[in-house]
Amino acid sequence: MNNILEKANALLSEMTLKEKIGQMTQSAGAFTADIGNSIASAPIAEQIKKGEIGSTITLGMDVHTIRNLQKIAVEESRLGIPLFFCQDVIHGYQTIFPIPLGWSCSWNPELIEKAVRVSAVEATSTGIMYAFSPMLDIARDPRWGRVSEGGGEDPYLGAQIAKAQVAGYQGKDFSEKDSMIACLKHFVGYGAAEAGRDYNTVCIDDVTLHNTYLPPFQAGIDAGVASVMPAFNIINGIPAAGNRYLLKELLRDEMGFEGITVSDYAAVDEMMSHGVAANGAEASMKAVDATLDIEMATTHFNENLEELVKSGKVDEALIDDAVRRILVYKFKLGLMDDPYKYIRPEEAEKVLFCEEHLDVSRDLGKKSIVMLKNNGVLPLKKEQKIAVIGPKGDSKDMLGTWQFSPRVKETVTLMEGLKAKGLNLTFAQGCDIHTEIENGIEEAVSAAKDADVVLLALGESKEMSGEASSRQNITVPDVQVKLAEAIKALGKPVVLVLTTGRPLLLSWFEEEMDAILNTWFLGSQAGNAIADVLVGDYNPSGKLSITFPRHTGQIPLYYNHFNTGRPYTGEDGFFSKYLDGSNDPLYPFGFGLSYSKFTCSDLVLESDTMSEEKPLSVSVTLKNEGEFAGEETVQLYIRDLAASVVRPVKELKDFQKVTLQPGESKVLHFTLPEEKLRFYNTSKNWVSEEGEFTLFVGTSSDDKDLLTASFFLKK
């Protein structure tokens, strides 16, 4: 590092103030989103020649454009400093994987890392070396469209996935040709937007911020992430992009982050809309003081910082610190020695969307499917006559939000996946996502009337989740319910195959369907992955990473809630309940069915007392009582019964995935160290406290699926 630091400092010493500010500016490239403010700037080639930008978003650029722009930077700017080329590689580059909310239900960090590694191999072969990913926002509100992009509601599962994704993008060493910068986003609390409305106000107390929202980011920082993107929202009343407490005192000093902070798109400009800056100069001052290193898309740094430094309002040392952090990573990636390291079109030909990558997508896809109900109608039998009905039945719209693959047309549809299984199929679309098709329902009923079983392929379009796509009514669109009712009236077995970017309200379907597969948006191999599960070639193993509510009125609803002073236990009276509905979710965190039946028994603690020196040793027996081999995810939760601040009624602290043959049993061992009992308290310390805890081990967060025991932490 010293050698790199010396090189960065040497280069820094040659730079003019204007050139330094240029490194802190990121062009929107060819991608200027319509967000109501000006992203107008000079043609990018001009900006590069003048040293006015140090990086650019690459959306809309091919590898030849990237090479040409890099050539201008290297050969035509005064110091020849190469650019970073950046893109949202969120769940795949050309080969698309399940949306992150989907793959989080695989509870398989190793496989997620493998998928992200594939994304990095594909993206870096086309000139891109900076991913605006992983998105780590804890989300408890399925009205928020970006719930699709994250890892669900739990800090521990989110932290395991964060670690895996950073390793996937960054590889073992930045000097490798297919390693790229990862960027943790959005720092922090973006998923707590009031009313689930994207970009809305966020208000989180410090203790909850640390115990719920920060753990995935801390895991990413501990994994060596190079970059962090502050969120659009406020924390303690100040927008993240200009929030010195958040970016300097918390992110850098307390959490130990030493890398690059890059604003979200136009977030520096938006400090004026937030009402904390009267003009671009004030916004720039606040952002640089907060230690924001790169302004994305807007040009307030370029327009104001030189004057602000010359007038003494901004200390040039702050500029030097920011530019040094940027240059260090340009050296670490080897760009200063080989600016064209990532320009490898001939290699791209071989790796983009290759069979091996598609196999990873199919594997992660089938392991992300969550079976929510099955009365025995699944798996399908080869001899059955199957009617596939619905707008998602033969649709290529299976990739979901935040993907820019040119290979959409090669997405495997559900019908294509089922045909590949050699099944006896009929198909009728029945309706569009939101609208009727003339005679559509009648034709669908007719197509289904001779079938032995109906697959009802319903759900959202990709536009219905993702950024700026919050929904007030998180239901299956009305026209699709109308189609479902008509099909149900036939009196045949019906399986709901649901494509969605968020939890939807499924109470009617829970009542009326014989089986429900929640398949998220599964990516390039969606149809094959779903067919693998439907015919039993893969025994579903997915577990929910986010709660499915019964009613929008329950939201936010999550498993790791506090007990309150008046917990509802069913009786009437002054307790925390509703007059007109249940407190309980429709499907809880950690829930997911299998074609097998797995049971846990014999929960044994080696001792009922633990300490810092002596972790808790736990064993439990898992048995496969079904007729299928399958994989189960055994989950371990704790509850701190009396602490200095309220603690959740359950907290996930470990899990193991186990494959068992029919009839097979296995004793699983868990070790729970003291540090997993620590929490952040009002004295701003991470502590564990002596006292009694409850241990839960089982196959979902629901009490009916858990064995319990008590233990004592001795300090």
Task: Give the β-pairing of 453-459 and 424-428.
Answer: unpaired
Residues that bind ligand GLC (CB under 6 A): 88, 132, 185, 264-265, 467
Instruction: Kindly tell me the sign of the dihedral angle through the C-alpha atoms of 518, 523, 527, 532.
Output: negative
From residue 428, how far is each of 420, 446, 483, 509 by CA, in Å?
Answer: 18, 9, 11, 20
Would you give the distance in Å from CA 450 to the centre of its chain? 42
Q: Where is 636: in which H helix or E strand?
A: strand 630-640
Residues β-bridged to residue 634: 656
SS (H, E, C) 464-522: HCCCCCCCCCCCCCHHHHHHHHHHHCCCCCEEEEEECCCCCCCHHHHHHCCEEEECCCC
Instruction: Kindly tell me the sign of the dihedral angle through the C-alpha atoms of 255, 258, 259, 265.
Output: positive
DSSP per-residue codes, 540-560: -----SS-B-S-GGG-S--SS
411 secondary structure, DSSP code: P
Active-site hit among 264, 363, 397, 654: 264
CB 266 within 8 A of CB 233: no
The amino acid that residue 533 corresponds to is: V
Q: By C-alpha distance, which of 327, 285, 326 is closest to 306? A: 285
**Closer CB to ligand GLC, residue 88 or residue 269?**
88
Measured distance CA(376)–CA(383) in Å, rounded? 16
Measured distance CA(545)–CA(636) in Å, rounded? 14
The amino acid that residue 159 corresponds to is: A
DSSP per-residue codes, 61-82: --HHHHHHHHHHHHHHSSS-PP
DSSP 3-state of 207: helix
CB 393 within 8 A of CB 437: no
CB 529 within 8 A of CB 541: no
**Helix, strand, coil: what percent of the chain each, to 5?**
35, 20, 45
Measured torsion, CA atoms of residues 466, 470, 471, 476, in degrees rounded to the nearest 10:
10
Residues β-bridged to residue 659: 631
- Cα angle 316, 322, 324 (rounded to 5 degrees) comes to 100
Residue indicated by tokens 């609208």 = 435
Measured distance CA(122)–CA(92) in Å, rounded? 8
CB 263 within 8 A of CB 292: yes
Neighbours of 58 (CB within 10 A): 28
- The question of whether 154 is a catalytic residue gets the answer no
Measured distance CA(293)–CA(285) in Å, rounded? 12
Measured distance CA(162)–CA(131) in Å, rounded? 14
Would you give the distance in Å from CA 19 to the centre of its chain? 36
User: What is the token pair recorded at 297?
Assistant: 């898309």
From residue 422, how far is each of 386, 390, 416, 531 by CA, in Å?
Answer: 11, 20, 10, 11
The amino acid that residue 338 corresponds to is: D
Measured distance CA(383)–CA(390) in Å, rounded? 22
Would you please indicate which residues are annotated as catalytic (active-site) residues?
264
